[in-house]
Amino acid sequence: MDTIFGVPTQALFGQLLIGLINGSFYALLSLGLAVIFGLLNIINFTHGAQYMMGAFCAWFLLNKLGVGYWWALAIAPLSVGAFGILIERLMIKHLYQLDHLYGLLLTFGLALIIQGLFRNEFGSAGLPYQVPAELAGGQNLGFMFLPKYRAWVIVASLVVCMATWFVIEKTKLGSYLRAGTENSQLVQAFGINVPRMITLTYGFGVGLAALAGVMAAPIYQVNPLMGGDLIIVVFAVVVIGGMGSILGAILTGFGLGVIEGLTKVFYPEASNTVIFIVMAIVLMIKPAGLFGTQK
Amino acid sequence: MTETPANGKEALRIADLHAWYGESHVLHGMDLSISRGEVVALLGRNGAGRTTTLKSVLGLVGRRTGTIRVNGIETVQMPTHRIAHLGIGYCPEERGIYASLSAEENLLLPPKVQEGGMAVDEIYQMFPNLKDRRKSQGTRLSGGEQQMLAMARILRTGAHLLLLDEITEGLAPVIVQMLGRVVRKLKERGFTVVLVEQNFRFAATVADRHYLIEHGRIVDMIPNAELEAKMDKVREYLGV
């Protein structure tokens, strides 16, 4: 068997693929967090629960209503995003004048409540969700076997991330968002309805989490705790990329997924901690994160 | 909402305006009236309440009571973005140029609030420097260029009441003269301009009238023609 640095290529590419898959979810989730933090200055700890709700929404659509994966990709982000909008209007909007910490506490509390409710209802065993028929099976690339669904997740996540980046960095709407992130009072003085923009931005960020949840359902199963486990790592990714940086969130998401995968090959004992080690190093050298600017 | 103004030519009417930032009470019964097409300067020392007066018009203070009518429409209860759509353009003291936007994106940022704004080409004719620097990051521009940009971007929107806060602050004389020409040109075009100025020599070259502000209220109003005669009084108020 071929080897690279004494590691079988099969194992190397296998872990690289898993790294890219994990990185896809890190990128989607940290992108949503970055967008929300940029404009709202709220550290959205409910993000993991909203990701989990996206997965449950897909499961519910399939098992109770017979609505399949492709429709779920649209319906879950819209409904979970609408739920996010409700939360922003009813609760989060009262905290904008206060310290970051209050928003963090509120969203953390909400995450615990939502997770508790789902665990009470569905247990914590995990519910299976089938890979859609169109993406079943895979391709032998010669050096490794590539399941179609996993290739789809990587490509879809890249496309969604790049589209979000494009809208924010290159369009008029995005210029309102960027300006609002810097000085929202002046943007409002120019005649833009900033409160509405904030609400929709929160809904969009939450929708991204739910979309990630639907894409994750066939890979990780549907489990009330799936978001809670992931969100800690995602926060580390956001800190490394730089709070509020869009490109930073995307690049660090994929990059750290790959680093984590490679660690599993070369030094498996460290694979669970490598991201936090990177975070500690980055915080010491560049406290604002790799792509962040000090506020 | 569609209340007709007592004077159809009145662009801005402020009566018994009180404003607060949190606990601190900054304006104590401000009264002033500005007609369409007028250029009016608000003079006073730092902390007298000049900037707060401009911010109050747009609802950018913590709390305000009293009357603020823009073209006859009462705005004290309105949210900021709706007040802007009555045709107000605001150029803040700190200029508010966005670092994450290019100079041109800064220029194109404010949405149209009314019909009849200036075309981008016309604006570039007025401020040729901005055309050359349009691809640069907004905050890479020099202080003077940033000031021009902050003024230029509210001319595009169709706003007819311009609130300009300390536009000459910290700028070289040649740029101050250039901004003076711009303000006079805007007056010719029928804009109504409210200037907050520290530099009363500049104000004297562009304004029709001057309000003197002290401790959050108007203490005197001087038509520009009488400014020379009342110079001692002005100096006393401004502490220069």
* CATH fourth-level superfamily of B38-60+81-238: P-loop containing nucleotide triphosphate hydrolases (3.40.50.300)
Question: Which range among A140-149, A224-233, B178-187, B230-239 has the greatest average pLDDT?
Answer: B178-187
The Cα–Cα gap between A179 and B96 comes to: 10
**In this structure, are residues B14 and B67 in contact, taking their beta carbons and an 8 Å threshold?**
yes
Read off the pLDDT of residues A246-275 as tens digits, 9 standing for 90 and up.
888 899 999 999 999 999 888 888 888 999
Which band of pLDDT confidence, cut at 50, 70 and 90, is reported for residue B80?
Answer: very high
Q: What is the ipTM of this complex?
A: 0.89
**In this structure, are residues B87 and B158 in contact, taking their beta carbons and an 8 Å threshold?**
yes
**In this structure, are residues A4 and A61 in contact, taking their beta carbons and an 8 Å threshold?**
no
Which chain B residue is nearest to residue A180, measuring alpha carbons? Answer: B98
Which band of pLDDT confidence, cut at 50, 70 and 90, is reported for residue B61?
Answer: very high
What single letter denotes the amino acid at residue B113? V
What is the interface size between A and B, counted as CB pairs within 8 Å? Answer: 58
Q: Are residues B98 and A179, on separate chains, in Cβ contact within 8 Å?
A: yes
Read off the pLDDT of residues B201-229 as tens digits, 9 standing for 90 and up.
899 999 999 999 999 999 999 999 998 88
Predicted confidence at residue B116, as pLDDT, reads: 85
Residue B107 reports pLDDT greater than 60? yes
Q: What is the pTM of this model?
A: 0.87
Which band of pLDDT confidence, cut at 50, 70 and 90, is reported for residue B8?
Answer: low
Predicted confidence at residue A126, as pLDDT, reads: 86
Tokens of residue B85, six digits: 């759509």
Residue B39 reports pLDDT greater than 70? yes
Cβ of residue A189 closer than 8 Å to a chain B Cβ: yes
Contacts with B120 from chain A: Cβ below 8 Å: none
Tokens of residue A122, six digits: 């569905």
Cβ of residue A295 closer than 8 Å to a chain B Cβ: no
Q: Are residues A190 and B84, on separate chains, in Cβ contact within 8 Å?
A: yes
Predicted confidence at residue A70, as pLDDT, reads: 94
Which band of pLDDT confidence, cut at 50, 70 and 90, is reported for residue B172?
Answer: very high
Read off the pLDDT of residues A237-248 as tens digits, 9 standing for 90 and up.
999 988 778 888
Predicted confidence at residue B3, as pLDDT, reads: 38
The string of DSSP letters for chain A reads --EETTEEHHHHHHHHHHHHHHHHHHHHHHHHHHHHHHHH----TTHHHHHHHHHHHHHHHHHHH---HHHHHHHHHHHHHHHHHHHHHHTGGGGTTS-HHHHHHHHHHHHHHHHHHHHHHH-SS-B--PPPGGG-SEEE-SSSEEEHHHHHHHHHHHHHHHHHHHHHHHSHHHHHHHHHHH-HHHHHHTT--HHHHHHHHHHHHHHHHHHHHHHHHHHH-B-TTHHHHHHHHHHHHHHHH-TT-HHHHHHHHHHHHHHHHHHHHH-GGGTTTHHHHHHHHHHHH-TT-SS----
Which band of pLDDT confidence, cut at 50, 70 and 90, is reported for residue A1?
Answer: low
Residue A279 reports pLDDT greater than 90? yes
Q: Which distant-in-sequence residues (6+ apart) come within 8 Å of A274 by Cβ?
A: A259, A260, A263
Read off the pLDDT of residues A210-231 as tens digits, 9 standing for 90 and up.
999 999 999 988 999 999 888 9
Mean per-residue pLDDT, A79-95: 94
Please give the sequence-ordered ranges of beta strands (E in DSSP) within B49-167, or none if there are none.
63-70, 73-74, 88-91, 161-165
Predicted confidence at residue A74, as pLDDT, reads: 95
Q: Which distant-in-sequence residues (6+ apart) come within 8 Å of B71 by Cβ?
A: B5, B10, B11, B86, B87, B161
Predicted confidence at residue B4, as pLDDT, reads: 39
The Cα–Cα gap between B56 and A242 comes to: 36
Percentage of chain B beyond pLDDT 90 is: 80
Residue B71 reports pLDDT greater than 70? yes
Which band of pLDDT confidence, cut at 50, 70 and 90, is reported for residue A145?
Answer: confident
**138-197 of B, contacting A, C-beta below 8 A:** 154, 157
Which band of pLDDT confidence, cut at 50, 70 and 90, is reported for residue B7?
Answer: low
Q: How far is the alpha carbon of A89 from chain B, nearest alpha carbon, in Å?
A: 17
Predicted confidence at residue B5, as pLDDT, reads: 41
Q: Between residues A1 and A199, which one has the greater pLDDT?
A: A199
Predicted confidence at residue A252, as pLDDT, reads: 93
- What's the whole-number average pLDDT of chain A? 90
Of residues B58, B60, B101, nearest to A178 (C-beta): B101
Which band of pLDDT confidence, cut at 50, 70 and 90, is reported for residue A140?
Answer: confident
Which band of pLDDT confidence, cut at 50, 70 and 90, is reported for residue A209?
Answer: very high
Of residues A175, A181, A189, nearest to B90 (C-beta): A189
Contacts with B111 from chain A: Cβ below 8 Å: 190-192
Predicted confidence at residue A143, as pLDDT, reads: 75
- In 3D, which of B129, B109, B176, B223 has the Cα closest to residue A180? B109
The Cα–Cα gap between B186 and B192 comes to: 8
Mode of pairing for the β-strands spanning B24-35 and B73-74: unpaired
Percentage of chain A beyond pLDDT 90 is: 60
Best to test chain A binding among B51, B63, B81, B120 (most A CBs inside 10 Å): B81
Q: How far is the alpha carbon of B60 from chain A, nearest alpha carbon, in Å?
A: 7
Contacts with B90 from chain A: Cβ below 8 Å: 186, 189-190
Tokens of residue B46, six digits: 């730092």
Read off the pLDDT of residues A2-23 as tens digits, 9 standing for 90 and up.
777 777 777 788 888 889 999 9
Cβ of residue B76 closer than 8 Å to a chain A Cβ: no
Residue B49 reports pLDDT greater than 60? yes
